[in-house]
Amino acid sequence: MATSSYQERRGRVERYFDQTAVETWRRLTSDAPVSGVRATVRAGREQMRRTLLDGLPADMTGQRLLDAGCGPGTLAFEAARRGAEVVAVDVSANLIDLARERMPADLAPGRIDFQVGDMLAPEHGSFDYVVSMDVLIHYPCADVVEALAGLAERTRERILFTFAPRTPLLTTMHAVGRLFPKGDRAPSIEPIAEGRLRRALAAEPRLSAWQGGRTHLIRRGFYISQALELQRQ
For 26-39, what is each residue's pLDDT tens digit? 999 999 999 999 99
**Has residue 176 got a pLDDT over 60?**
no
- The CA distances from residue 35 to 8, 29, 48, 177, in Å, are 31, 13, 20, 18
- The CA distances from residue 151 to 4, 11, 25, 169, in Å, are 18, 20, 27, 31
All structural domains of the chain, each given as residue ranges with its CATH number in brackets, are 4-232 (3.40.50.150)
Mean of pLDDT over the chain? 92
Per-residue pLDDT, 188? 82
Amino acid letter for position 65:
L
Give the other-Cβ count within 10 Å of 193's Cβ: 13
Distance CA 79, CA 161 (A): 15
Distance CA 113, CA 111 (A): 7
How far out from the chain centre does Cα 137 lie?
8
CB 63 within 8 A of CB 50: no
Per-residue pLDDT, 183? 46
pLDDT tens-digit profile of 84-106? 999 999 999 999 999 999 999 99
CA-closest candidate to residue 223, choices 194, 197, 193, 189: 189
CB 34 within 8 A of CB 28: yes
Q: Identify the band that residue 179 occupies on the pLDDT scale cut at 50, 70 and 90.
A: very low
pLDDT tens-digit profile of 33-69? 999 999 999 999 999 999 999 999 999 999 999 999 9
